[in-house]
Amino acid sequence: MILCADIGGSFIDFAVASPDGHLTHRQAAPTPVADLDSFVGILADLCAPWPGVPLHIAIAGVENPATGVVHAANIPCLATTDLSRLLSVKTGRTVLIANDADCFALAEARFGVARGHSNVFGIILGTGVGGGHVIDGRIVQGLGGVTGEWGHGPFIIPPPRVPAGMDLSAVIPSFRCGCGQTGCLDTIAGARALERLHVWAGGAPADSRAILSAWERKDAQASRTMDFYLGYLSSALALVINVTGCTVIPVGGGLGNSAALVRAVDLAVRERILVKEPGVLVKQAVLARDAGLLGAACLVAVHDKGAER
Ligand SMILES: [Zn+2]
């Protein structure tokens, strides 16, 4: 068995996982975001009934493969700590840590909609955009541990020469991103970003669910917004497919709950990739809130971190 924790900025979700993907002893606790001692103490208490059993963690952040330091924007107390080493010493067990979107992709590859596929790119369309790449049942950590972050890197960019007098802001949704760049997919493709895109495209302020249901009713303004949304998102995803060769893309996150949206993304993506008529590639994830825990449970130790720096 493996102890597993899915740690976000608000809650720690904890469970005991069996090798066949069964979760038992499920508990939740608030995440101490500002106090490292409390953070370690809560995890130590949760694990205490199972001495020596490994603890695997999915976290809303990225572990630097070189230093072990976890950068989690919503959990600032972790800022300078080699967390897996600290937890291992404090709790007397092996501790492995991975990004929660990576764990999502791994779980869907092992137990979910991507079962049977050896090359899986899982995407999260939630508050923001995330993703993870899994090959042969292992997360690809890659340079800096950020592989799968397909939402960043300027993608929505103005042409190199802009005709005099042309107002590009009216035709190109070019917003500043939290990563410091301008024009990342993350600035238009998460739930909050979709709401901003809708206003940019001429719509009245509305939440993402209202925009999607208006689009499904064929509302003209929502359709205009979603034309932009699907065009940019599916172009970025087509590039991901062409580069990675993945054969399935599980979609999680709040926007991924819309079957109509996932279907539309799949159709738009398949119009843009090099391989023609590959069958459905983009599919709704099936593991919901269990994905982080189940993915964490499937983590394996990386022994060649140096080669991946
Ligand atoms: Zn960005």
Indicate if 279 and 303 belong to the same structural domain: no
Distance 125 CA to ligand 1 centre (A): 15
User: What range defines the domain where residue 209 resides?
Assistant: 113-286
Indicate if 302 and 274 belong to the same structural domain: no
Q: Apex CA 129: angle with CA 215 and CA 232, to 5°? A: 55
Token pair for 92: 């007397």
Residue 282 and residue 247 in contact, taking contact as beta carbons nearer than 8 Å? no
Indicate if 69 and 138 belong to the same structural domain: no
Overall residue count recorded for the chain in this entry:
309
Each residue of 216-239: b (16+ CB within 10 Å) or e? beebebbeebbebbbebbbebbbe
Per-residue model confidence (pLDDT) at position 302? 66
Indicate if 59 and 173 belong to the same structural domain: no
Indicate if 84 and 9 belong to the same structural domain: yes
Per-residue model confidence (pLDDT) at position 250? 98
Distance 269 CA to ligand 1 centre (A): 21
Residue 53 and residue 2 in contact, taking contact as beta carbons nearer than 8 Å? yes
- From first to last of its 309 residues, what are the pLDDT tens digits of the chain? 999 999 999 999 999 999 899 999 999 999 999 999 999 999 999 999 999 999 999 999 999 888 889 999 899 999 988 999 999 999 999 999 999 999 999 999 999 999 999 999 999 999 889 999 999 999 999 998 999 999 998 888 777 777 788 888 888 999 999 899 999 999 999 999 999 999 999 999 999 999 999 999 999 999 999 999 999 999 999 999 999 999 999 999 999 999 999 999 999 999 999 999 899 999 999 999 999 999 999 998 765 444 443
For the chain, the domain total comes to: 2
Indicate if 92 and 118 belong to the same structural domain: no
In a domain, 107, yes or no: no
| Distant-in-sequence, close-in-space partners of 74: CB < 8 Å, separation ≥ 6 | 8, 9, 10, 33, 60, 61
Distance 232 CA to ligand 1 centre (A): 14
Distance 265 CA to ligand 1 centre (A): 21
Q: How many angstroms separate the CA atoms of 249 and 252, rounded?
A: 10
Per-residue model confidence (pLDDT) at position 149? 94
